[in-house]
Amino acid sequence: MTQIEAAMPVTKTNSFILTINGCGGEHTMGTIKNEIAKYWQCEGEEFFEEYMFSWDKDEIANQYGIPEKYQLRDWNELDDLCHLNGPEFIEDITYFELIDIDTQESLSEILIKEEMLEIEDEPEVSQDLEKDVSVLYGQQFNKGSFSFGPIESDQPFDPSKLRIMCSCWDDIQIITAIEYQGETYYVEEESRGKSQTIYFA
C-alpha cells in the first residue's frame, strides 16, 4: 500500500433490506372468450375452482366430459392483462422493517402512507375486445415476509429517497417494487399459501 492509498479515507458500505411481514401473494387478470366464460359460469363457481386449481386437469376433463374447447390453461397463465407478485398495502397498517444485513439488526420501522405510493391503475379491456371477452381474476393468497434488497449505500438509509411502486388488483393495492437512489428492487417472498380463488369480474 502506498502512502497516498494509506491516507485515503475508508468508505463503509451499508447494506440494508426492507421487509414487509403480512399478506400478499400472486395475482392475475386475464381474458377468455365469452362462450367459454358462459360454460363455466353455468357449471358453477365451486366446480370451476376445483378444475382450475387441480394438479391434473386432464383427469377432471375426462371424468366429467368437459369438451376440449372449454378446457383452460393453469390459472396463473391466464394473465394477459396483468400478473402481480407482492404484499398487500393496507393504510395505517403496512410498514417496512429496515434491517442491517451485516448485523441482522432491525434499525427502524417505516409506516407506508398513501402519499408514498406511485400507483398504477388496474388494466382495462380495450373497447375492441369488450364485447367478445370476459375478465377472470386469480389469486394465490400467501402470508409471510416480502423483502426488497439488498440495498447498498455509503450513507445511512434515507426514507425520503424511497419510491414505492404499487399496482391495483380488484380494489386491492399490491406493492410490486421499490426504487432507492436510482436502483429498482423487486420482491423476494418467503411465505406459505393460505388459500386460492378465481372468479369472473
**Residue 6 covered by a domain:** no
d(C-alpha 65, C-alpha 32), whole Å: 20
User: Grid coordinates in use for 42?
Assistant: 353455468
**Residue 113 covered by a domain:** yes
**Count of H-run helices and E-run strands, the chain:** 4, 10
SS3 124: coil
Q: Could you tell me the residue range of the domain that residue 29 belongs to?
A: 14-200
**Residue 2 covered by a domain:** no
Question: Tens digit of pLDDT per residue, the chain (201 long)?
Answer: 555 445 445 557 889 999 999 999 999 999 999 999 999 999 999 999 999 999 999 999 999 999 999 999 999 999 999 999 999 999 999 999 999 999 999 999 999 999 999 999 999 998 888 899 999 999 999 999 999 999 998 888 999 999 999 999 998 999 999 999 999 999 999 988 889 999 998
User: Grid coordinates in use for 25?
Assistant: 401473494
Cα–Cα nearest to 117, from 100, 97, 96, 99: 96
DSSP state, residue 4: H
d(C-alpha 62, C-alpha 72), whole Å: 14
**Residue 81 covered by a domain:** yes
**Residue 149 covered by a domain:** yes
**Residue 130 covered by a domain:** yes
Q: How many separate domains does the chain show?
A: 1
SS3 34: helix
- For position 2, what pLDDT does the model report? 54
**Residue 68 covered by a domain:** yes
**Residue 7 covered by a domain:** no
* Global pTM value: 0.85
- For position 9, what pLDDT does the model report? 53
CB 185 within 8 A of CB 149: yes
- For position 71, what pLDDT does the model report? 96
Please, what's the largest Cα pairwise distance for the chain?
82
DSSP state, residue 62: H
- For position 11, what pLDDT does the model report? 57
